[in-house]
Amino acid sequence: MIRTRDGETVTPKNESQAHALNALYGNAVGRGALKVLTAPALSKAVGAFMDSPASKPLIDRFVKSNNIDTSQYIMSGIDSYNAFFTRRIKSGKRPVDLNKEHLISPCDAKLTVCRINEDSLFAIKDSLYSAADLIGNERIAKRYTDGLCLIFRLEVDDYHRYCYIDSGVKSANVFIEGELHTVNPIALEHYNIYKRNSREVTMLRTESFGDVIQTEVGAMLVGRIKNRHGKGYHFTRGEEKGMFLFGGSTIVLLIEKDKVEIDSDILLNSAENCETVVKYGEKIGIKASSTTR
């Protein structure tokens, strides 16, 4: 279930790409086919097609089938499917909360917040991850025990660019390749533990919220994540950090214990297994008071 900040229930968008991939992941024959489809050469060829003018006819069908409101976006100069997918939003449509005490959403998304403990498993793009699985580093993951995991799931009509949640300095971008096993070792009813999506991990040393780990999650199939800056970059709150091309659609933040107090409506919705609609630059929490530390 999805709710707005006003408490209204929202109908999820049709995610045909996700449904098609899940059908393939669900059996050994499909996973064998995906091994071919996700081969580097073919994946690059599909990516090149999505970047080319030949992909432009796909745009109108995509807009109609997903009921996308293009009036919010700058639509001039779009000459490929990926140019449309990463379209820029019009000035003033996503104001950024500049209060240094406020934690902001890095993107348009449906947000779920979870507490991190040693046994936590998080459902991300229909797979299960521990914090260590997600970032590929067990030692660093332990720092976030008793902290918070914020999962931002983008749908097809969301703005696919994302921003920095505060001002600070960043680490290098660490890319983790996706994994797909053709044999299903353990079958779960709803989640695939035999696949891991490609992802890019960054440590953000923020001014207000400590060391926050941001992970962008792509897909096995032509998933591409484009971050703009490298190690040592001094970023500012609300500055564009990067974008998702076709196939990328989730951001995860790991926040240390007692650094942030998440807004009560988001916590209540998460406790009821309900996602909350949030927007790029919108307040979603506040710096933890000294009495909670």
Tell me what pLDDT residue 16 has.
54
| pLDDT over 90 (residue 126) | no
CA distance 40 to 105: 33
Residues marked active site are found at: 108, 249
Are the CB atoms for 243 and 226 separated by under 8 Å? yes
| pLDDT over 80 (residue 80) | yes
Model confidence at 291, pLDDT cuts 50, 70, 90, reads very low
State which residues form the domain around 276: 2-292
Return mean pLDDT, the chain: 87
* Entry pTM: 0.89
Mean pLDDT of 72-94: 93
6: DSSP letter: T
CB contact set of 143 (below 8 Å; sequence gap of 6+): 211, 256
Composition of the chain by helix, strand, coil, percent to 5: 25, 30, 45
Mean pLDDT of 79-96: 94
CA distance 235 to 241: 8
Domain tally, the chain: 1
- Separation of CA 256 from chain center: 19
Model confidence at 187, pLDDT cuts 50, 70, 90, reads very low
Mean pLDDT of 216-224: 71
Q: Which amino acid is at 241?
A: K
Tell me what pLDDT residue 178 has.
78
Strand, helix or coil for residue 25: helix
CA distance 98 to 91: 16
| pLDDT over 90 (residue 219) | no
